Amino acid sequence: MNGKVVIITGASSGIGRALAVEFAKRGASLSLAARRIELLNELKNEIENTEILTTKTDITSELACEDLIKLTIKRFGRIDVLINNAGLSMRALFDDFELNSFKQVMDVNFYGTVYCTKYALPYLIKSKGSLVGIISVAGHVGLPARSAYSASKFAIRGFLDTIRLENLYTGLHVLVAAPGFTASEIRKSALTASGKPQGETPRKEEKMMRTEKCALLIVHAIESRKRSLVLTFKEGKLSVFLGKFLPFVLDWLTFRHMAKEQDSPLQKKYPNLF
Alpha helices in the chain (DSSP H): 14-25, 37-46, 62-76, 99-106, 112-127, 147-166, 211-223, 238-245, 247-259, 265-269
- Among 192, 217, 6, 186, which residue's Cα sits nearest to residue 108? 186
Does residue 9 sit in helix, strand or coil?
strand
CB 15 within 8 A of CB 4: no
CA gap 23, 114 in Å, rounded = 23
What is the amino acid identity at position 264?
Answer: S
Does residue 22 sit in helix, strand or coil?
helix
Of 111, 115, 149, 270, the active-site residue reads 149
Kindly list the strands in the beta sheet with 173-178, ordered across the sheet, starting from the edge strand earlier in the chain.
Answer: 52-56, 29-34, 5-9, 81-84, 130-134, 173-178, 228-230
Element (H, E) at 134: strand 130-134
- The DSSP annotation for 221-248 comes to HHHTT-SEEE--IIIIIHHHHHHHH-HH
CB 107 within 8 A of CB 158: no
Tell me whether residue 149 is one of the annotated catalytic residues: yes
CB 136 within 8 A of CB 113: no
Mind telling me the catalytic residues? 149
